[in-house]
Structure 1
Amino acid sequence: MKDFVIIGAAQAGLSMAYFLKQKQKEFLIIDKEKEIGASWLNRWSTLKLFTPAEFNHLPDMPFPAAKGHYPDKFEVASYFKDYAETFQFPIQLNTLAQSIQKKNDYFIIRTNQQDITSKHVIIATGPFHVPYTPKFHNKLSDSIYQVHSNYYKTPDQLQKGPTLVVGGGDSGFQILDEISKHTKETTYFSGDTSIRTLPQEILGKTIWWWFTITGFLSFSKMSWLGKKISQSKQPIIGTDVKSIIKRYNVEPIGYTIDTEENTIKTATKTLTDVKNIIWATGYKPNFEWIEDIELAKDGYPKHHRGISTTEGIYFIGLPWLHTRGSATLGGVKKDAAYLANYIL
């Protein structure tokens, strides 16, 4: 019987482990991947953080890079591995949590390896669970190569011919940038081109420095300003969207409306020459494997600062768990400290 089991060994799980170890609690971290940092290593090859190194520290261990450096996915994964080794956390990899059942005053966590019993369970699986693509993608011909951004690696995996990138978030624009640089073929973009963008630096200071001193990252989601920020469309940071859209081989075509075989209907035109589609269309949460957990309309668990309505189950690493900073690599430690203090 464990005192705590943490499910997920990325930034949220590692931050919680730090505080539990400081209190000398018995715990185990489990993760479905074969190595620490795999959730980052599995993304596309040129992925970079839009937060500089000085804002990416986990508790009690600075990110090992110069101030102003924007780490790539390999550096993040390496940092996580070093962090886990430095603090010697008990971690069991290749262990997929399949269900959680409450039995009186403890929990049974069923996994692909064995059943684990624990008095408390901390879910640190993050917000990115099920890659989402619109249903009409199934109507397309098999001759068109389709891949969600979660599985996209490099432009080399694409067929020769025009590519359509669908989705106007950070991932969509970073992938659009990479593909349009790699090929002379037309790269169509389906999404909002009027989205707000912010530079990485203003007046010699990083945008994250400005966010910090103005308190932008610290407004509670329950405050008036926090509600306004959380309900608005988040800006793209550090990617020059306008210059990408103006490239000779990039063609914005509005939102994608429907598909049929080799035809794609968009807001501005009908496409018949597309050979590849990158669906940078986000994710849907999946917490249905946790029995008797109360979910909100958006599919995320009901909670207050990670404290669920089921006694003994806690969440960390969710978007806007408490503030805008909850979704950042360096911000999760504040949520972890609060949650650990509450539990202990």
Structure 2
Amino acid sequence: MSTDVLDVAVIGGGQAALAAGFYLRRSGVRFTVFDAQEEPGGAWRHGWASLRLFSPARHSSLPGWPMPAWNQGYPPAAHVVDYLTAYEKRYELPVLRPVRIKAVHRDGDLLRLDAATGSWWARHVISATGTWWRPYLPYFPGRDEFQGRQLHTVQYRAPQEFQGQRVVVVGGGNSAAQIVADLAPHATTTWTTKRPPRFLPDDLDGRALFELADRRYRELRDGRPDSGGLGGLGDIVAVPPVRQARDRGDLDARPMFDRLTPTGVAWADGRTDDCDAVIWCTGFRPALSHLAPLGLRDGSGLIPTGGGPRALAEPRLHLLGYGDWTGPASATLIGAARTARDVARAITAQLETR
């Protein structure tokens, strides 16, 4: 605990928090990064064994220091963890861990951050807790009756634990496609989606992905019509394992089932499939419970920002790395860097007017 007032407190220890730390360090403000995890690497440390980036290393860097090359295709999660760990040391970022900030309160002209170990005060707060820690599991009829195993993306580790089993994978995004591709050689898989999956063109590499996201960022910044970025082309990046599984016929999705039964899943037309496990690749919600005392959420459960990183009703709060809601592509490594730069500039300008 410290009674000294920080210029900026950064909550979270992943890629967005480190990008913010880089720019804050360069601006000369007093800041501390509070990470609830015991080791560096953020959510990348908790992904499944075969998880890979969607872009080559050269297009997946934080500011200041390029990610070291990975010569075997798209870098695995472990490579990202090593990079984030080294990045934190390289720039001597002031990270306190494990410190879980449980609540942020207004305290006069300051914001107070409360943890089990004490409290800190700051003039500005950057919340960069991401979404991994708040998986979304939708309600489905019969979900509580199913006698097999149910797990979310965050709990999936490796296909070998499903060897010889029948597995239903739910979801139409990247995680679902990658997990089906991972499982197919080991288990009998059924992939179910609400709508037919849309694969991005095979030749869309990391540079193209970033250019599309960057174009959307500039469109929104300049008040021009929104092209939709990547979403205008498709939902699933055809990384090599996904492409190979698709070409083998392992990624033929079926319409979403209507309910779960004690032994599997069932469709409205009477068809049923028995299975041993259901993997819900159904996305995430922003991890914002620590901000609840500020009373900023609207009816959607989000904090209004006007499409940028700054909370409209609390100008001392900045939200970084939660996805397009707080800035186009801000949940990606390279996109987080751009948004972090804008946040650091805005905070520095406000501090200079005090």
How would you bin the TM-score normalised by the shorter chain? 0.7 to 0.9
SS at match of 1:201: coil
Counterpart in the other structure of 1:312: 316
Q: 1:126 to 1:38 in 2, by over 3 A?
A: closer
- Alpha-carbon deviation of 1:161? 2.3
Extract unaligned runs of 5+ from structure 2.
349-354
Would the aligned equivalents of 1:220 and 1:322 in 2 still touch at CA under 8 Å? no
| 2:111 equivalent among 107, 110, 120 | 107
Q: Distance in 1 between matches of 2:243 and 2:110?
A: 54
Amino acid at match of 2:300: D
Which residue matches 1:126?
A: 130
RMSD: 2.8
Q: What residue number does 2:75 align with?
A: 71
TM-score, normalising length: structure 1: 0.88
In the alignment, the residues of structure 2 paired with residue 175 and residue 96 of structure 1 have an alpha-carbon distance, to the nearest angstrom, of 30
Q: Which residue of 1 aligns with 2:352?
A: none
TM-score (normalised: structure 2): 0.85
- Deviation by residue 1:34-78 (Cα, 9 ceiling, x = unmatched): 111141121110000011111111111011115894111001011
The question of 1:182 aligning with 2:175 is answered no
Of all paired residues, the percent bearing the same amino acid is: 24
Tell me which amino acid in the other structure corresponds to 2:318. Answer: Y
Aligned partners of 2:125 and 2:318 also within 8 Å = yes
Counterpart of 2:351 in structure 1 is none
Matches of 2:23 and 2:182, distance apart in 1: 39
Is the 1:253–1:267 Cα contact (8 Å) retained in structure 2? no
Q: Could you tell me whether the CA contact under 8 Å between 2:132 and 2:154 is conserved in 1?
A: no
Relative to structure 2, which stretch is displaced further, 39-48 or 249-258?
249-258
Aligned pairs for 1:3-18 (under 5 A) are: 3-18=7-22
Q: Distance in 2 between matches of 1:89 and 1:163?
A: 43
Which ranges in structure 1 are unaligned for 5 or more consecutive residues?
none
For the pair 1:149 / 2:153, whether they are aligned, the reply is yes
Question: What amino acid is aligned across from residue 211 of structure 2 in structure 1?
Answer: T
The residue correspondences of 1:275-294 to structure 2 (distance < 5 A) are 275-290=276-291, 291-294=293-296
Task: Give the Cα–Cα distance (whole angstroms) in 1 for the partners of residues 189 and 150 of structure 2.
Answer: 14
Quick one: structure 1 residues 285 and 44, their matched pair in 2 at CA, closer, same or farther if it must change by over 3 Å? same
1:1-344 to 2 correspondence within 5 Å?
A: 1-65=5-69, 69-136=73-140, 138-142=143-147, 144-158=148-162, 160-183=164-187, 186-191=188-193, 194-201=196-203, 206=205, 208-209=207-208, 212=211, 216-221=215-220, 223-226=223-226, 228-229=228-229, 234-239=234-239, 244=245, 247=248, 252-266=253-267, 270-290=271-291, 291-304=293-306, 305-308=308-311, 309-321=313-325, 323-344=327-348
The letter of the residue matching 1:238 is A
Greater displacement, 32-41 / 324-333: 324-333
Moved more, 172-181 or 59-68: 59-68
> Secondary structure in 2 aligned to 1:307?
coil
CA distance in 2, matches of 1:54, 1:267: 47
Compare 324-333 and 69-78 and name the one that shifted more.
324-333
SS at match of 1:283: coil
Greater strand content? 1
User: Structure 2 CA distance, aligned partners of 1:67 and 1:200?
Assistant: 19
